[in-house]
Structure 1
Amino acid sequence: MYYKIAVAIFIALVAMGCNEEKNIEISSESFTEKELTICENTRCPEVTINYVEVFGDTEVSEKINRKIKNFILSSLILGEDTEPTAKTIEEAATGFIEAYIADKNAFPDMAGEYFAEISVNEIYTSADHLCFEMRQYLYTGGAHGYGTTTFLNINPQTGDELSTEALFTNKNEFTAFAEKKFRQQQEISADQGINDTKFWFENETFYLPESVGFTRDSLIFIYNQYDIASYADGPIELKIAIKDAEPFLSTD
């Protein structure tokens, strides 16, 4: 009898432990080229990185921090590589600066110094959802630089990424709803083709960016330069109020 009671209490405690929210904390961090040894006696291009780091539950925080760091390392890649070989932010920034020095030595009359601005900010937090806004802007020669804004949605209980499909009950239905909002915002009538004005959606069909940002009040979709329009048009933002999108969301 006592054994059965003890087992029941043990199972209850385990169940309670499984249902507890993961305790994680988020702190702001920063890095600049001034922290690098290579820049002590050399004029270096500016590298400014502002990001967040997650602490607390080790397994969860490591997963999230790995995703954030990979974005930063990937943003500093120059050349044809698509996957970062650097293991640390310092190493990636050093590689960016060394690439600039090599290009400057090869082309002494090169106008303008390279620079990199990278940021990762937490813009939404709930018990089952974290959203990070991830921005990068690099200038590596030419007429202008190029930047992007994307979003990273995370389950704070597991540290796993929440796919866009997992955030909506029916992605296709929401896309049709979002197109109406986009047309209203851009003053494109329902009987016009989506590309009849300045846009160049592939196959003349409206689609959403790959990632979605969440705030307390809105969903944010950002088409980066060249995604659906020219560089001169700049990033194009579609913002939808949470109250309007709520019927399509699978999370609170």
Structure 2
Amino acid sequence: MNSKIAVVTLIALISVSCNREKNIEISSESFTEKELSMCENSKCPEVTINYVEVFGDDEISEKINAKIKNFIFSSLIMGEDTIPTAKTIQEAASGFINAYNADKAQFPDMAGEYFAEISVNEIYRSKEHLCFEMRQYLFTGGAHGYGTTSFMNIDPETGEELTSKELFKKIKEFTVFAEKKFRDKQKIAEEQGINDTKFWFENDAFYLPESVGFTQDSLIFIYNQYDIASYADGPIELKIAIKEAEPFLNID
């Protein structure tokens, strides 16, 4: 009797596990300002958003989708606010457009129209790891726009973000290893200070960006404009082959 119960329990657990894995699905979604009623009869700033939405296990998908949408909402915030209050993409886009209209009314000779381009893409997936690349580029006046690239690493079993400690082991040793790769790519000799060329690392000490991207073959680190160098230098990318990074990784 006990053996039958054990077998039934095992089958149920396997079934639940398989269903959860199958139920985590990702679809591509898009939004533009043309979908807003406020833009039907008047010209609006361009707002282009391409993103992914997760379906399946309700609890997990809701957590991941909330993180994705929070990035989109935060990207569209104007003014001094730092915490998004929008509940939908439509509301966030409307806030961006309203901010432009208010600025245009106050400064009618303002050159150039605002625009926003935002994207969230899945770039890696395994049973224990999802990685999303998140990009945003906005023009809100001035000489040029400004964009950033960041990454979000998710545990698909929980919907929670994976921390650096969960992604890496021996983080100090890995940072030393990554610095050698960075110096090689940027042609900075070992005896030179890290800021002896064009960079401005704080305290003249190398450090990695806050987020890391994973692909099938590489780790991707991106320093956005102004992070460690001038705007003119553009984003600075460091790629490290997965095979070389394997000794420092906590995940497969």
TM-score bucket (shorter structure): over 0.9
Q: Distance between the aligned counterparts of 1:46 and 1:12, measured in 2?
A: 53
Amino acid at match of 2:78: L
Structure 2: runs of 5+ lacking an equivalent: none
- Deviation of residue 17 (structure 1)? 4.6
- Deviation of residue 191 (structure 1)? 0.2
Describe how 1:198-237 pairs up with structure 2 within 5 A.
198-237=198-237
Amino acid at match of 1:119: S
Q: Which residue of 1 aligns with 2:10?
A: 12
Q: Which residue of 2 aligns with 1:114?
A: 114
- The CA RMSD over aligned residues, in Å, is 1.2
Q: Which residue of 2 aligns with 1:81?
A: 81
Give the alignment's TM-score, normalised by structure 1: 0.96
Amino acid at match of 1:167: L
Which has the higher mean CA deviation after the structures are superposed, 10-19 or 197-206?
Answer: 10-19
Describe how 1:103-182 pairs up with structure 2 within 5 A.
103-182=103-182
Which has the higher mean CA deviation after the structures are superposed, 156-165 or 74-83?
Answer: 156-165
Structure 1: runs of 5+ lacking an equivalent: none
Q: Distance between the aligned counterparts of 1:128 and 1:151, measured in 2?
A: 16
**Does the CA-based 8 Å contact 1:121-1:132 persist in structure 2?**
yes
Secondary structure, counterpart of 1:180 in structure 2:
helix
Secondary structure, counterpart of 1:22 in structure 2:
helix
Number of corresponding residues: 250
Q: Deviations over 1:20-61 (max 9, x none)?
A: 452211110000000001101111000000000111111111
Secondary structure, counterpart of 2:104 in structure 1:
helix
**Does the CA-based 8 Å contact 1:115-1:138 persist in structure 2?**
yes
**Does the CA-based 8 Å contact 1:164-1:212 persist in structure 2?**
no
Q: Which residue of 1 aligns with 2:21?
A: 22
Secondary structure, counterpart of 2:83 in structure 1:
coil
Q: Pick closer, same or farther for the CA change 1:239–1:42 going to 2, 3 Å.
A: same
Q: Distance between the aligned counterparts of 2:91 and 2:62, measured in 1?
A: 19
Amino acid at match of 2:21: K
Which has the higher mean CA deviation after the structures are superposed, 153-162 or 133-142?
Answer: 153-162
Q: Distance between the aligned counterparts of 1:60 and 1:15, measured in 2?
A: 18
- Deviation of residue 157 (structure 1)? 1.5
Which has the higher mean CA deviation after the structures are superposed, 160-169 or 95-104?
Answer: 160-169
Q: Distance between the aligned counterparts of 2:40 and 2:82, measured in 1?
A: 29
Give the alignment's TM-score, normalised by structure 2: 0.96
- Deviation of residue 164 (structure 1)? 2.1
Q: Distance between the aligned counterparts of 1:178 and 1:12, measured in 2?
A: 44
Q: Distance between the aligned counterparts of 2:165 and 2:240, measured in 1?
A: 17
Q: Distance between the aligned counterparts of 1:15 and 1:40, measured in 2?
A: 52
Q: Distance between the aligned counterparts of 1:219 and 1:9, measured in 2?
A: 42
Q: Distance between the aligned counterparts of 2:248 and 2:92, measured in 1?
A: 40
Q: Distance between the aligned counterparts of 1:12 and 1:126, measured in 2?
A: 23
- Percent of residue pairs bearing the same amino acid type: 74
Which has the higher mean CA deviation after the structures are superposed, 240-249 or 13-22?
Answer: 13-22
